[in-house]
Chains A and B, each alone.
Chain A
Amino acid sequence: MEATRLGISESGQVTDDDLAGRLRSGDPEAMGEIYDRYADRIYGFCFRRTASWSLAEDAMAAVFLEVWRVRRRVETYGGELLPWLYGVAANVCRNSLRGQRRQVALRAKLHAVDGDASVADPADRVAARVDDERRMADLLHAVALLGERDRQILMLVAWDGLTYQQAAELLGVPVGTVRSRLSRSRARLAELMRPDDERPE
């Protein structure tokens, strides 16, 4: 079931509609519950836009602050908050990437702190994270060659787990458009990611 896979129905009786209502009325505890429920999802979403775990962490934090700031505009899609959260996250990540150079300089300092203050990662875990980032950067480089709408649809559905319907509502396009563009984008991306020596002449 899609909702379960997205983690939406995993937190017991409180529905996303309940949380959205409480958030809209300024309930900080609802904000905390939304964070607990979706922090991992937003973290992953931000990583898939930045190809950097550390940037994704900063962006994830900024997303939830932004969610609180714009809480009166919260809405659910088919009873689910995640599409709206992704919309906020997309804006934050876009701004984050714009200010990346500045952040890199800041992170140089903050990272020294973080690195010292947390339990050291085993070397293999660090290597895996670096490998993730390299792989993600390659993917982002490839999807950048797609048209903007195709890229958005591919990322929201194939990468972020939204349903066709949710992606269609979020982007304001017909479901059929999502379906056809996704199919085309997947094929194109597979082509772009194929090693040069395997591509047809």
Chain B
Amino acid sequence: MDQQIPDRPLPDDVRARRRVELMTSIGSGHEHRRRWLVPAAAAAVVAGLVGGGYAVSRAANDPAPPRSERSLEVAGSGEATPSVAPSATSTTDCGDITTAQLERSLRRHARQPVWEDPAIAPVLASYRDIVARHLDPAGQHLQRDVSGVQMGGSIRCGVSSLGTKLGWTVAGEDGEGMVQVEVNRSAHGSQVAMSLDGWEPVPSGLPGVTRAEVARDGGRTAVLVTRADGLVVGIIADPLFGNNSLTPVSDLDVSVDDLVATAADPDLALPAS
């Protein structure tokens, strides 16, 4: 019986990537309230690179590089200098990249996280302010600081999606809820869209809104608004901020109309390319 239990070691690249994420997270001191943030950011970095055309193994007639080029250094600290040279894969600024470039990018972002990038930080802060304007004008519930980032595309070659999660507290309660906001160039790949099922149209006479949908799941309510400017904005209101708390707030008192109006706000935009 015991011999039937499958067992595999972590792949080298996964081990290295997760180590960088871990060491970045504990080094930044964000682990207490932002446990999900660094992995998401690292994934975002990878996403950005992929969006730019990562093609180590997919290019025709481009054999996989030798192991020494694929493996990321794991024994040293997250600041270790990569010991490998870039592979021969053709590269452009926003085109194909090599494994070594991927590693360098991960390490660079470990030193300056994407949510602190001067092109990203003010936009994330504006998301917080816009959400507060619509859903918490009295400033009683929404946390002041941006609590994470989800990003698709890349800062250099164009951000295709950007989002954050904002804590929501109720005075006198220990729990924490969450409002997630995400701005996308399209509904395809929207984490908000994928997080819930059963999307239904909801009427909206708001200017600039071409389509609005709502989905509910337990205590969660989400809207997905397609706007005339081509952006798709998703918002989730969840009484439980699962990354930060085991206890939900008793009520996250926002209506679907409030959420749609927030998503329709033209100030919610992506960083300029």
Contacts and interface: CB of A to CB of B under 8 A. Distances in A.
Contact of A61 (B6, B22, B78, B195): B22
Q: Which of A118, A129, A186 has the most CB of B within 10 A?
A: A118
Contacts of B5: 48, 136, 139, 159
Contacts of B196: 105
Given A61-B39, A99-B242, A116-B50, A109 B191 contact: yes
Interface string A1-41: 00000000000000000000000000011011001100110
Specify the main secondary structure of chain A where it touches its partner.
helix
A53 B6 CA distance: 10
Nearest to A31: B26
Contacts of B195: 102, 105-106
Nearest to A138: B4
Interface string B1-22: 1101111111101110011011
Contact of A158 (B1, B27, B194): B1
Given A119-B57, A158-B2, A110 B43 contact: yes
Interface in B24-73: 25-27, 31-32, 35, 39, 43, 46-47, 49-50, 54, 56-58, 64, 70
A39 B15 contact: yes
Contacts of A48: 5
A68 interface: yes
Given A62-B35, A106-B195, A118-B11, A139 B4 contact: yes
A6 B50 CA distance: 37
- Chain A interface size band reads 35 or more
A61 B43 contact: no
Interface in B157-175: none
A132 B31 contact: no
A58 B10 CA distance: 12
